[in-house]
């Protein structure tokens, strides 16, 4: 069975007959609901069919027997029914043999959707995947994230200035759910055909130009201790969690390490961006920072960030104390 990308899925299911089994898996669970909505819209042509034939289970609450029993029954006053199992990887597989028999011979009027953040490498899971249409909902790269925001604004008929996208991502990060909520807020405010810029976004969302995780990274990348401490403190005061900030810093310094390596291989910025599928705006601070750290320093920073995450989980130290230590270590060592 084919593996289909998130962006291709809508076009893929427009072909008939619809497939019997789908697997949605990956870290970006935001896409699960989008894919499910597309599939539901295709399967059910009216609301009454949907209400009677939409069956949803959870791996933490239901049994495999309950899922199978629903799969083999006929739909109510419709041609098809949709059976959805969320958190499938957490389901207790007490009737695995019976389930595999169903996978190899699914009920013709049942469409089964299995969702899991992590698709296991066991024989059972691999055999299911071989008999299903699979969509990997992977976390978007920075370049794809910019394109996703851009396309969403264009689809809504919104005019925008390029730096606006960077400003949104700088303040929200990689969380597609939060990004989507803020974009929907902007779309509802300006309306179709409206125009947004950084000032519009700042006024509607409350984000400011000076306080964001990306400006924090920029200050650390330039080894500006006072600016780092100031921005880091403001992030915490705005309600950002250090447990979310530290992994993003790790990603930032790993990118610096990779770019330094590719630069030594005589690759220019354009070649590096193409190889890493990176957006120029997102890599400006990384290119500006590569001369400020040796490989040994980056290695020590990455180790320190891992230790800081552990310290945050296991000690009584306050977030501000750990954040200050991180700033001093990066800017002064």
| HEC secondary structure over 208-275 | CCCCCHHHHHHHHHCCCHHHHHHHHHHHHHCCCCHHHHHHHHHHHHHHHHHHHHHHHCCCCHHHHHHH
Q: Of 111, 35, 38, whose CA–CA distance to 79 is shortest?
A: 111
pLDDT at 221 over 90: yes
Q: Of 196, 201, 198, 145, whose CA–CA distance to 173 is shortest?
A: 145
Mean pLDDT is lowest, of 12-16, 63-67, 97-101, 136-140, for 12-16
pLDDT at 143 over 80: no
pLDDT computed for residue 140 by the predictor: 81
Residues 167 and 198 in one domain: yes
Residues 96 and 160 in one domain: no
Residues 15 and 119 in one domain: yes
Read off the tokens for 220. 């650390």
Enclosing domain of residue 154: 142-205
pLDDT at 289 over 80: yes
Residues 255 and 300 in one domain: yes
- Write the pLDDT tens digit of every residue in 82-115: 999 999 999 988 888 999 999 999 999 999 999 9
pLDDT band at 207; cut points 50, 70, 90: low
CATH number for the domain harbouring residue 251: 1.20.272.10
Strand partners, 112: 21, 83
Query: Does residue 195 contact residue 159 with C-beta atoms inside 8 Å?
Result: yes
Q: How many residues does the chain have?
A: 333
Looking at every residue in the chain, the average pLDDT score rounds to 87
Give me the mean pLDDT over the 184-193 stretch: 87
Residues 94 and 17 in one domain: yes
Handedness of CA 91, 95, 96, 101 (dihedral sign): negative
The answer to whether the predicted template modeling score (pTM) of the entire model surpasses 0.75 is no
* Strand 54-58 with 195-196, pairing: unpaired
């Amino acid at each position: 069975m084919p593996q289909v990308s998130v962006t291709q899925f809508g076009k893929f299911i427009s072909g008939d007959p619809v497939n019997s089994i789908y697997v949605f898996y990956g870290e970006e669970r935001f896409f699960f609901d989008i894919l499910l909505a597309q599939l539901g819209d295709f399967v059910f042509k009216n609301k009454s069919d949907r209400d009677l034939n939409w069956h949803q289970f959870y791996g933490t609450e239901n049994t495999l027997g309950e899922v199978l029993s629903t799969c083999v029954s006929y739909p109510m006053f419709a041609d098809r029914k949709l059976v959805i199992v969320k958190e499938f990887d957490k389901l207790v597989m007490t009737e695995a043999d019976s389930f595999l028999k169903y996978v190899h011979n699914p009920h013709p009027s049942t469409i089964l959707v299995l969702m899991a953040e992590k698709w296991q490498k066991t024989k059972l899971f691999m055999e299911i995947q071989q008999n299903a249409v699979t969509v990997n909902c992977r976390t978007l790269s920075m370049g794809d994230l910019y394109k996703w925001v851009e396309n969403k604004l264009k689809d809504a008929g919104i005019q925008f200035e390029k730096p606006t996208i960077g400003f949104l991502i700088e303040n929200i990060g990689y969380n597609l759910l939060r990004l989507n909520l803020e974009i929907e807020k902007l779309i509802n405010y300006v309306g179709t055909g409206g125009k947004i810029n950084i000032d519009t976004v700042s006024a509607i969302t409350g984000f400011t130009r000076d306080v964001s995780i990306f400006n924090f990274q920029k200050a650390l990348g330039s080894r500006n201790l006072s600016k780092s401490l100031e921005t880091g403190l403001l992030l915490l005061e705005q309600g950002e969690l250090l447990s979310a900030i530290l992994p993003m810093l790790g990603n930032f310094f790993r990118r610096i390490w990779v770019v330094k390596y590719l630069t030594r291989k005589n690759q220019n910025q354009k070649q590096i961006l193409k190889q890493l599928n990176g957006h120029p705006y997102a890599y400006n601070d990384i290119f500006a920072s590569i001369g400020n750290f040796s490989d040994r320093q980056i290695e020590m920073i990455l180790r320190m960030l891992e230790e800081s995450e552990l310290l945050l989980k296991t000690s009584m130290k306050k977030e501000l104390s750990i954040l200050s230590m991180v700033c001093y270590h990066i800017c002064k060592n």
